[in-house]
Amino acid sequence: MSLETLYQEILLDHYKRPRNKGVLPHASVHGGGVNPFCGDRIDLYLRLEEDRVVDVRFQGEGCAISQASASMLTEAIHGKTVEEIRAFAARVEKMLKGEEGDELDGLGDVQALQGVRKFPVRIKCALLAWKVLQDALGEYLRNPA
């Protein structure tokens, strides 16, 4: 278990140069969450047009894994429909929990998160942004604005 498995270059790049960081006023979907164990915090903002993400931002603080994961998330879901995002997030969650084999096609940069599987205490860090996303979309679908 080398450190480089966990902190892959792409991941460190997202941590040092987070993509889409900031607040989105008038977001169609907004959600936030924390990991009480370590204090990691993520807020997500999505703007939808005709069910498709046309803009996305995240705010947060915490470890490299949690913040890089959120940054990757914003790139991964840009341009996707809500249904596509939910399917994608479910796949990522399975990958992080080690429930899926090696079928990581189409996950892009997000693949770099798979190293956490060898570091059980860090899985929660990687999962946080994706859980916030799933919860926020679930809420959005139940109560569309």
Partner 1 sequence: MASDAPVLAGRSRHVVADPLDVERIRQDFPIFLKRTGKKRLIYLDNAATTQKPKSVIDAVRRFYCEHNANVHRGAYWLSEEATRLYEGAREVVRSFLNAPTSSTIVFTRNATESINLVAYAWALNHLKPGHQIVLTEMEHHSNLVPWQMVARRTGARLEYVRITDQGKIDLDQLSELLRRPTGLVAVTHASNVLGTINPVAEVARLARAWGARILVDAAQSAPHIPVDVLDLDPDFLAFSGHKMLGPMGIGVLYAKRERLEEAEPFLFGGDMILSVDWHESTWNELPWKFEAGTPNVAGAVGLAEAIRYLQRLGTGRIFSHERQLVRYAFERLSEVEGLRIFGPGPEERLGVISFEVHGIHPHDLATFLDARGIAIRAGHHCAQPLMKRLGVVATARISFYLYNQPDEIDALVDALQEARRFFLG
Point out which residues bind partner 1 (CB under 8 A): 1-3, 6-7, 12, 15-16, 37-39, 41, 61-65, 119, 122, 125
Angle between helices 64-77 and 123-142 (to 10 degrees): 40
Shortest distance, CB of residue 40 to partner 1, whole angstroms? 8
Shortest distance, CB of residue 123 to partner 1, whole angstroms? 12
Distances 83 to 15, 22, 91, 138, 139 between C-alpha atoms, Å: 28, 24, 13, 11, 14
Q: Which is nearer to partner 1, 30 or 122 (CB)?
A: 122
Backbone phi, then psi, for 76, in 5-degree steps?
Answer: -70, -35
Shortest distance, CB of residue 104 to partner 1, whole angstroms? 23
Q: Which is nearer to partner 1, 121 or 145 (CB)?
A: 121
- Going by their DSSP bridges, the two strands 52-61 and 29-34 should be labelled as unpaired
